[in-house]
Amino acid sequence: MKKNFAAQKFQDFEIYEDGEKYGELRVTPSSLKWKPKGEHNYYKISIESFSKFVQENGIKQKK
């Protein structure tokens, strides 16, 4: 019987500001989800919408 690990479907990041938790960011292949501190639900945006928003509003960086 072949054994293997299931691929991880998302990656979670806890975001801190001045040592206090600011919120959580969940990255999936198709979307980003943001959960502000103290809330139980996420706010979701597609990768396509996020890409467009960042390119129109972000500051270009080398790395």
State CA 52 to chain mean position distance.
16
Give me the pLDDT at residue 43, please: 98
Residues of the chain with pLDDT under 50: none
Q: CA–CA separation, 39 vs 37, rounded Å?
A: 6
Q: CA–CA separation, 32 vs 36, rounded Å?
A: 13
Q: CA–CA separation, 29 vs 37, rounded Å?
A: 23
**CA dihedral sign of residues 49, 53, 56, 61:** negative
